[in-house]
Amino acid sequence: MRRAWLATVDEALLPVADAVEDFVLGGGKRLRPAFAYWGYRGAGGADSDRVVTTVAALELVQASALIHDDLMDRSDTRRGEPAVHRRFAARHRTAGWRGDPDAFGDSAAILLGDLCLVWSDELLHTGGLPADTIARARPVFDEMRTEVTVGQYLDVLTQATGDTSVERAGKVARYKAGKYTVERPLLLGAALADAPAGVPAAYSAYGLPLGEAFQLRDDVLGVFGDPAQTGKPAGDDLREGKRTYLVAAAFAAADEARRAVLAASLGDPTLDAAGVAELRDIITASGALARTEERIAELTSSALTALSTAPIEPEAREVLVTLAAAATTRTE
């Protein structure tokens, strides 16, 4: 629908439609819509194509966040393909247009990310559900988008200040990704189903620790992941200077000499393979990797314990157990 509308404005906008379509449909785990859908089903909601369409709005929120995140981090790739700002910079170079190709790419990425956020709002309202149903869910949707935005700011701020505390890393993990990956989608589904009393609190007790565990797994993959599976270069989080729980735990446990190496190399965009390997060795030797894995296991166990007593439909409980494994044991 939006492709056709863009074409009526100007055919020069068709590459914008292509980029959004490729980004949204070309990969990703679809975890957020899955949590929202099963949050809805668990609260007693009946299966419905309209619900599936409505919760797909979460994929557009995710696209917006990732497009902007890649730009802020100056990432070259996403899911094995050029990041959106790199894609449009390359388009500028190939066409031989005037001005700075990278500046054009940056501007395009900002605008495409904004478009995805606008279209997420539109899809929420045009998915076919009654207006009063959407009105119940709207506050959750708004809170979620606010949380992920301020979480992203805290992430940027933490890199700028060099804060290496575990407490700050945990807060960034919760707000940048954890809450909006699991808890808020579940609560969105619960609101769409007009959930009985007790269900939203149970979803939060499951979703908050699981969302944090999800982000900690992401942190591990950002340092130790296989590029063939993650779609991003090895050690990108180290080059970007991410102050993750993994890195914070290393700063807390490493000796003075190794902390100095971490401090000097973290955030160096020219860090080569040998430099990445050295930082990996420091993180591992400090016990930070093991500590992070233990924390993931603790958080996941807490989530599953809460889920086991949640007053929800049995089928949904079974699927949410499976989704917990998918969120915390993934390799991409």
Residue 78's SS3 state is strand
Structure confidence at residue 326 (pLDDT): 93
Q: Are 211 and 217 in contact (CB under 8 A)?
A: no
CATH number at residue 269: 1.10.600.10
Structure confidence at residue 195 (pLDDT): 97
Q: Are 21 and 10 in contact (CB under 8 A)?
A: no
What's the token pair of residue 320?
A: 């949410």
Burial class (CB in 10 A: 0-12, 13-18, 19+), 124: buried
- Containing 195, the helix (H) or strand (E) segment is none
Checking if the pLDDT of 1 tops 70, the result is: no
> What's the average model confidence in pLDDT over 93-109?
97
Structure confidence at residue 233 (pLDDT): 78
pLDDT one-digit tens code per residue, 222-261: 899 888 887 777 788 899 888 899 999 999 999 999 999 9
Q: Which amino acid is at 62?
A: Q
CA distance 133 to 150: 27
pLDDT one-digit tens code per residue, 115-127: 999 999 999 999 9
Structure confidence at residue 138 (pLDDT): 97
Q: Is the dihedral of CA 194, 199, 201, 207 positive or negative?
A: negative
165: which DSSP letter?
-
pLDDT one-digit tens code per residue, 189-226: 999 999 999 999 999 999 999 999 999 999 999 899 88
> How many domains is the chain built from?
1
The whole domain housing 88 covers 2-328
What's the token pair of residue 258?
A: 């190794």
Q: How high is the mean pLDDT of the chain?
A: 93
Vertex 21, ends 15 and 27: CA angle to 5°?
130
Helices (H) and strands (E) in the chain, counts: 18, 2
**Residue tagged 């940056």 (tokens):** 106
Q: Are 55 and 40 in contact (CB under 8 A)?
A: yes
pLDDT one-digit tens code per residue, 8-64: 999 999 999 999 999 988 777 899 999 999 999 999 999 999 999 999 999 999 999
Structure confidence at residue 10 (pLDDT): 95
Residues 6+ apart with CB under 8 A from 258: 282, 285, 286
